[in-house]
Amino acid sequence: MVAPHSLLAIAAAITLGACATAGEPGTAATPDAARVQEATPDAAHEGACARAFTGTLATWDFSADMGIEVTTAASATAPGVVAGPVTRSADVSAASGASSMNATNWALATHLDATKYYTLTVTPPSGCTLAITGLALDVKASASGPSAASVATSADMFAAVASLSTTAPSTPAIAATATAPLELRLYGFSAASAAGTLRLQNQLVITGALR
C-alpha cells in the first residue's frame, strides 16, 4: 500500500510536468515566437517613400506656345510626381510672344509686387518628401519690361527669394522641402512701362529628390 503522503507527491509531480510542457516553445499553449515576429510590421520600412528618386522632378516646355496661353502643362514628371500647369496671377495680362508664355502689367516699383507673378505647383507622391535642389529657366524681358525678377516657394510662405536674370537663362540657388503641394512663384518688377513684357521661354526644369 502506498502512503497517502506519497500519492500527494506523485500528483504534484505530474501537475508540475504538465505545466512545464505547456510552457515549451512551439506548443499550442505558447505563441510561436517566429510567427509573432513575422506578424510585426518592419519598423525600418514604416513611413518609407515607395518612389525614392533623385534627378529631374518636372519639366515644362514653352516652345509650342504663342504667349497668350492661359496655362502650359508639364511635359514630363518623375514617377508619382504631380506637376501642375504654369499659369499667371490675375494681376498680370497675357501677351503674344511665339515660343513662350508671355505677360504685361508687371510692377514698376524697384521691389516685387506679391500679386504679380507666374506660378506652378509640384506635389510629391503619398508618403514621400519632395526636396527641390535645383531650378533652371529662361526668363526674358522686353526693352521696357522688368529689369529684375525673383523666385520664391510656399515652403516658407514666399519669404526667401532668389534672383533671376531677365536677359539670360538662370539657375538660381533654391532649396525647399514639402510633403504636400509646393508652389513656386516667379516675380517680375522694376519695369520701365506697364506695357513691357516678361516671358517664360524654352524650358523650365525642376530637379531634386523624393525621399
Q: What is the pLDDT of residues 170-192, one digit of tens each?
A: 999 999 999 999 999 999 999 99
Asked if 20 and 59 sit in the same domain, the reply is no
pTM of the model: 0.78
Asked if 61 and 21 sit in the same domain, the reply is no
Pairing between β-strand 93-94 and β-strand 82-83 as defined by DSSP bridges: unpaired
Give pLDDT tens digits for 125-179: 999 999 999 999 999 999 999 999 999 999 999 999 999 999 999 999 999 999 9
Q: What is the CATH number of the domain that holds 103?
A: 2.60.120
Asked if 71 and 122 sit in the same domain, the reply is yes
Asked if 61 and 34 sit in the same domain, the reply is no
Return the pLDDT at 94. 98
Total structural domains within the chain: 2
Return the pLDDT at 48. 84
Could you give the CA distance from residue 159 to residue 150 in angstroms, rounded to a whole number?
11
Could you give the CA distance from residue 18 to residue 15 in angstroms, rounded to a whole number?
5
Domain of 181 in residue numbering reads as 53-210
Asked if 114 and 202 sit in the same domain, the reply is yes
Return the pLDDT at 47. 60
Asked if 63 and 34 sit in the same domain, the reply is no
